Copies of this chain bind each other. A is one copy, B any other.
Amino acid sequence: MEQVAATMEQVKLLTSVNDQHGGVIVELSEPIDSGIFASMLRISISEWRKLGKKGVWIKLPIELCSLVEVAVKEGFWYHHAEPTYLMLVSWLPGGAHPLPPNASHRVGVGAFVMNEKREVLVVQENSGIFRGTGIWKFPTGVVEEGEDLCTAAVREVKEETAIDAEFMEILAFRQTHKAYFEKSDLFFLCMLRPISFDVQRQEAEIEAAKWMPWDEYVAQPFVQKTEFVKHISDICLAKVDGDYTGFCAIPTASSGGQMGHVYQNAQGRRR
């Protein structure tokens, strides 16, 4: 009998893995009745408490959205969500928790690419607010999940114009707020050195792409009348004229061992 009871209890525990901070992570993937899930969750929480576990994460695929209510009733709250899943979390010790805050910023890059004829690489977009305006602008885009800023700038230029280019510097960046709802935005202006020169536009997003004489680019009303665009075109010109130093990218390991980059003035490169 004791054997049977133990087996039944085991069946009722949710499968979890330990995280590096004294907590556990539960990733559900198979459909499960919400009543059964509620029992399993309650028994699991009791077990995790005995083990001294602290933070409990539950990753619920959107297909299992019927279980959200069960978790919330057991004291879980939302940590973050992506299109395909919702991450819930609970702090078993109660009180103030040291759990990581949610992501607060989306991140974009713009690419300043000039050839030796003082022509700048520009595109016309065929969707969004620039569609149909005839405005020529720098290639821009959103940094993908897990992507380095310097890599994102090179990728966007390649995707939109087929130009191969090498990342040189971040010339400036801008932080703005309420980019959508309550989230903020960081936009990094990158200078790239072109390696190839034959422009081919990407048909999906780009109406046209070309090398354009710098003076013609700057003369556009869009550049002259948009404070931020005028501002960064001044920075680009200062860079071309040799009067400006941005931040270069230096590969580095984080304390967690993940690779990343430090961006800094090359003056500080002592090592």
Q: How many residues of A contact B (CB 8 A)?
A: 83
Contact between A260 and B102, CB atoms less than 8 A apart: no
Complex contacts, A253 vs chain B, CB 8 Å = 227-228
Contact between B245 and A265, CB atoms less than 8 A apart: yes
A193 to chain B, nearest CB (A): 19
Contact between A228 and B255, CB atoms less than 8 A apart: yes
Q: A83-B79, A238-B268, A270-B238 are in contact. Are A104 and B228 (CB under 8 A)?
A: no
Contact of A103 among B106, B174, B178 (CB under 8 A): B106
Complex contacts, A98 vs chain B, CB 8 Å = 127-128
In the complex, A174 Cα to B244 Cα: how many Å? 21
Most B CB contacts (10 A, CB to CB) among A87, A149, A175, A243 go to: A175
In the complex, A69 Cα to B61 Cα: how many Å? 12
Contact between A178 and B258, CB atoms less than 8 A apart: yes
In the complex, A246 Cα to B143 Cα: how many Å? 23
Complex contacts, A254 vs chain B, CB 8 Å = 174, 176, 185, 228
* CB closest residue in chain B, given A235: B268
Contact between A247 and B80, CB atoms less than 8 A apart: no
Complex contacts, A184 vs chain B, CB 8 Å = 103, 107, 145-146
Q: List 22 A-B contacts (CB under 8 A).
A: A62-B78, A65-B69, A78-B84, A79-B83, A80-B183, A81-B81, A81-B86, A103-B103, A104-B107, A104-B143, A104-B144, A105-B105, A105-B186, A173-B262, A177-B260, A178-B258, A231-B250, A231-B271, A234-B271, A235-B264, A239-B268, A244-B267
